[in-house]
Chains A and B, each alone.
Chain A
C-alpha cells in the first residue's frame, strides 16, 4: 500500500510545488499586533439554512466559515493547509483518505470534535441533499479508525476530495445539533465566531461575535457583520458611505465608479470565465453544432477584445480556455486560440455547409445587454441568423440544466483541473445537460485519476487542449471579480472564490 503524505495540495490539484514540508505554519496571516472592533461586509446572498450541509461555496463561504471550521483549510493562494485535520493521506489506490484530527476542539454547544463527529457530519451531508452534495459524491462511507483518526472510503478516485474538504464538504457541525435538527436555525460549530441572534435581522443583517473559546488563533475582529444588499447600487453606496468595509460588485461600470472615488480594488483578480457554452455538441437541437468546424467558426467570429472593452469596461482578460492561469491545465498558448477572424469563420462555415444557420439563443437580464448584442452582431456578420429568447428572472439555470437550449452565454467559476472535468465535461456533469461525450475525451478523462500525481498536470493540459480544439465552449474572457474595500481594512483575495475567506481580512489601524 502506497501512502502519499501530502502536507499541502494546491487547490487546483497539484501545482508544481506539490511536496513541501509539513508545517503548522498555515494559520491565518493575521496581524498579531492589532484587533479591531468590527468588520462590516456587504453581501449578496444569505444562507438558506444554518445547517452546514446546506452550505454553498463562493459568496456564502465567509459566512459559513465564521461559524464552521473546515477539515482542511485553503490558503488565499489556494494551497491546502491543516485545520481541524492535521494530516491527510491517500491509500495507494486512492480509494481511502485517512485524516488525523485535532484533539483539542469543542463545538460551541459543548460537544467535542472527534472521529465520531466527522463521521456524523459526512453521513449527514450525504443525506441532506445540499447544493454542494457533489463535493462528497465519491465518498461512500466514513469510518472511525481511532478517536482522532477517520478514514473516508471512496467508490472511485477523487483527486479533488481534499479541496472539497476545505470547502462546503468539510464544514463540521456539532453532531448533537445535527441529530436533533436544531442546527437549521441555531448554528453550532467550532468556528472563530458565533451567531449573535439579537443583533441579526433575517433578510438584512447577519451579526457574528467572537468565539472566545476558539481553539485556534483568534481572528483580528471582535465582531463581523454581513449586511445583505442584493442590489448592486445599494452595495456600492454602502461601501462609498462607509456603511460596509468590503463588498463585491458585479458590474464593471460600478467598479470603475468605485475606484474613481478612491476605494481599493483587487487588480486583475478573476474568478470566472465568461463565454458561450455549446451544450449540443451532438446536434440534437441544432444539427449544425455536431460539426466542430461550426463551433470553431462561431468562436472565431467573436471580437473578444472589443467585447471586454464595452462589456467590462476593459476590466478583464481575453481568453479561449475555461481553465484559469492558476490551474495546471492552463496553457498560455491556448489563450489566443480563437483570435478574431471573421473571414476564417466564414470559410469554416462554408466547409461545414452551415451557411444558412439560425441559432436560437437564450438571453438573461443578469448580463449587460451589450454582451449579447456584440456576440449576435459578430455572428450575423458571418452569415448566422440569431433568434434571441429571453429568460425571466430565475429561469436561466433551471432552463440550462433541463437542456432546453443548444447554446447559451454564461459566466462560470474557473475550477480545478479535476473540478472542471466533473462540473463541465463528464457525460453526467450538471453543465453538460445534453450529455455530450466523445471517445477521445473520455479516454483522457479516465486517464486523469489513474495517472500518478506527477503525470496528472500533463493529462489535464491534454484535456484542456482537446476541448479548446474541439470548441466545446467558446470562452471569451475572464472578467474581473470586483472585490472592493475601504482604507480601514487590508484584504487578501482568495483564489477561485468570488469573495475572500473570513481569514483574509486584517485591520489597517486607520
Chain B
C-alpha cells in the first residue's frame, strides 16, 4: 500500500506521434480495452437487468453459477455478478475522487514550489515528508473514526495523502525547465509569471502528471479495497473490498468467493499500470525493448593485394537493425593503417567515422552490426572471430582513446583501480606489478604527481589530466593499433597540443599504428601521415596529408577545409564534463 511510487521519469510531449505509438503497443491497447470494459460495465449496470445487488435471499446462499446467477450467489444469496459491477462503480468513483484531490493539491503547489522555490518550497517539502512519514493507514483509520465509514471522505483524505507524489513530480519537472532558455526568453520578453507557467511550464508537466495519475488511480483502488477488506468502510454498499471481506471470512468453507473481487481489483490495477507504462513509453519514445537483433556479416572476396599488415578494412558496411528495420550507416569503407602510421579519418559528425572506428574495435552500440565487408588485423579476419577472441585483442592488440575524457572514466572507482584492473584481469599481472606499471604510465603521460592521481577519483582531476589517464590506460597493454576518437576535441588549446605531442611520441616509441578520428584539419595537419575523408557513410577521398590539404580533389573536402579556415579561431573551449544521462 505504498503511498509513494517510483518516480516517473520525465516524459516530454512529442507531438501527435505518441497516440499512434500507443496504439501500436499491444499491452497498452489490451489494458485500455480492459479498462473501457470495466468502466462500461460499471456505468451500464443499472440497465443490464441484473438482480438487485442488495437483495439477500438466505435460502439461495452460496449457489453455483447458473443462468439466473451467472457467477453464482454469495453467502447471503445475492448475485455475485451484480455486486461485482455495482462494486466497480464505487471503487472507480472512489479512485477518481482521490485522484482529483491529489492533482488539485499537488499540481498547483508543485508548480509554485518548483517555479519560485524559496520558503514555499521548503514548507511544502516539509509537509511532503511529514505526509510520507505518517503511516497512511493509521491516518485513514483515524479519519474513519472521526468522519464515519463514508467512502468519499476516506478517499478524499487519501487524495491528500497521495498529493505529495504529484507534488514531487510536478516540482521536479518545473525545476527542470525553469532555467531553460525558452523560459528565460519568455521572461525577458516581459511575459508575466502566470502566463509563463500557463504556456510553457504546464506543457512540460502534463505528460508526467497523466502517467503518474494512472499509477495513483491504481493505488487508490488498492487502498480503498484494503480499507473495505479490513471492514472499515460502509459494508452496506456493494464494493470489491467488502466482497473480499465476506469471502475471506469463509475462505476455508468456500474459497471461490474471494476470486471474483480479487480479479476485479487485480485486473483494474494492472490495466491502469500497464496503460500508464504504455503512455510513458509512447510519450518518451523509448521504443522500450529496442530491437537488439543483428544479422550475419556478408563475406566479400577481396584481393590480398595492397592490404596493410596491421589494419586493413575492405568494403565495410555497418547497419542497425535487421529486415525492414535495417538502416545502413556506413557503406563500402576501405582503409589501411600500417605499423607506425597515423591515419586521420576526417568528416563531420554523422559522417560514419566513429561507426567505422567502433567496427574495428568490435564495440558498435546496441543493435549495430557489420553487415558486409572484411576487417583484418595483423592478418586475422576480425568479422569471423568469436567474441571471446575479439575481447582478447582489445587492450593488447587494439586500444582506444575516447573523446570526452571525464565521461570515459568510471566515476565510482579511483584512477588507480581503473588502470590496474585491466592489467591484472586481462593481462594477468600481479597487483604490485600492475600498480608499478600504472604509476610508470602516469609518469610517462606527463602527470606531475602520479601517486596522487593514482589515488584520486575521476571527478577530482581536470579534463586534460583525465585524457592523459585515458591515454595511459590505452597504451598500458602495449597495443599495436591505437584508435583515438577525437582525442583532443573536449580539451582547451594548450592541452590539445600537449596531448597530440604525447600521442606522437608514443607512436614513435612503440611503432604502433594510429587511427585518428577527427573533424579538425588542424589536428590532421599536426599529426597525421595520411587522411581519409568521409561523408554520409562513405569515404570520398584518401591520400597523403600533404596532398589532401594542399589540393583536395573532392568538393566535400574543399568545403570542409574552407569552413575550417573561415572560423580560424576554431578552438573548442573546454566547458567541463557534460553530465551523463540521468534517469
A contacts, CB < 8 Å to B: 251, 253-254, 256-257, 303, 306-307, 309-310, 313, 363, 365, 368-370, 372-374, 376-377, 380, 388-390, 392-395
Contact = CB atoms under 8 A, between A and B. Distances in A.
Contact of A376 (B56, B59, B252): B56
Contacts of B54: 377
A374 B58 contact: yes
17 contacts: A254-B252, A306-B58, A310-B61, A310-B75, A310-B76, A310-B77, A363-B236, A365-B231, A365-B232, A368-B75, A369-B76, A372-B235, A373-B76, A377-B56, A388-B235, A389-B149, A390-B148
A369 B232 contact: no
B56 A390 contact: no
Given A306-B59, A377-B55, A390-B148, A370 B233 contact: no
Interface centre among A370, A372, A374, A377, by most B CB within 10 Å? Answer: A370
Given A307-B58, A370-B246, A390 B233 contact: yes
B57 interface: yes
A389 B149 CA distance: 8
A369 B148 contact: no
Nearest to B248: A233
Contact of A388 (B58, B76, B236): B236
3 closest A-B pairs by CB: A365-B231, A388-B236, A377-B56
A49 B406 CA distance: 69
Nearest to B147: A392
Contacts of B149: 389-390, 392
Contacts of A363: 235-236
Contacts of B75: 310, 368, 370
Given A363-B236, A392-B232, A369 B246 contact: yes
Interface size class of B (residues with CB under 8 A): 20 to 34
Nearest to A375: B56
Contacts of A372: 235-236
A390 B58 contact: no
Interface centre among B61, B76, B78, B234, by most A CB within 10 Å? Answer: B76
Contact of B144 (A306, A380, A392): A392
Interface centre among B54, B78, B141, by most A CB within 10 Å? Answer: B54
Contacts of A368: 75, 249
Interface in B125-174: 141, 144-145, 148-149
Interface of B: 54-59, 61, 75-78, 141, 144-145, 148-149, 231-236, 242, 245-246, 249-250, 252-253
Contacts of A365: 231-232, 235, 245
Contacts of A313: 253
A377 B57 contact: yes
Contacts, number: 77
Given A372-B235, A377-B76, 4 more contacts: A253-B253, A365-B235, A370-B75, A392-B232
Contact of B145 (A256, A369, A373, A395): A395
A303 B58 contact: yes
Contacts of A376: 56, 236
B258 to A, nearest CB: 13
B293 to A, nearest CB: 52
Contacts of A394: 145
Contacts of B231: 365
B458 to A, nearest CB: 55
Contacts of B232: 365, 392-393
Interface centre among A257, A363, A368, A377, by most B CB within 10 Å? Answer: A377
Contacts of B242: 369
A356 B550 CA distance: 108
Nearest to B76: A373
Interface centre among A257, A392, A395, by most B CB within 10 Å? Answer: A392
A394 B145 CA distance: 9
A9 B126 CA distance: 68
B250 A253 contact: yes
Nearest to B78: A373
Contacts of A377: 54-58, 76
B143 to A, nearest CB: 10
B234 A388 contact: yes
Given A365-B235, A392-B145, A253 B249 contact: yes
Contacts of B76: 310, 369-370, 373-374, 377
Contact of A256 (B59, B61, B233, B253): B253
B254 to A, nearest CB: 9
Nearest to B250: A253
Given A256-B253, A369-B245, A369-B246, A374 B56 contact: yes
B228 to A, nearest CB: 10
A256 B249 CA distance: 12
B236 A390 contact: yes
B154 to A, nearest CB: 11
A257 B249 CA distance: 12
Given A363-B235, A363-B236, A392 B148 contact: yes
Contact of B235 (A253, A303, A369, A374): A369
Interface centre among B58, B75, B145, by most A CB within 10 Å? Answer: B58
A310 B58 contact: yes
Nearest to A387: B236
Contacts of A388: 234-236
A393 B242 CA distance: 16
A310 B257 CA distance: 15
Contacts of A380: 55
A363 B144 CA distance: 14
Nearest to B253: A253
A394 B249 CA distance: 20
A373 B249 contact: no
Nearest to B58: A306
Nearest to B243: A369
Contacts of B249: 251, 253, 368
Contacts of A374: 56, 58, 76
B56 to A, nearest CB: 4
Given A310-B61, A369-B246, A374-B56, A253 B252 contact: yes
A398 to B, nearest CB: 11
Contacts of B235: 363, 365, 369, 372, 388, 390
Interface centre among A257, A310, A365, A390, by most B CB within 10 Å? Answer: A390
A254 B248 CA distance: 12
Contacts of B144: 392
Contacts of B250: 253
A376 to B, nearest CB: 7
A257 B246 contact: no
A393 B249 CA distance: 17
B94 to A, nearest CB: 16
B50 to A, nearest CB: 17
B177 to A, nearest CB: 46
A306 B57 CA distance: 9
A159 to B, nearest CB: 41
Nearest to A391: B149
Contacts of A251: 249
Contacts of B59: 306
Nearest to B242: A369
A310 B56 CA distance: 12
A392 B232 CA distance: 6
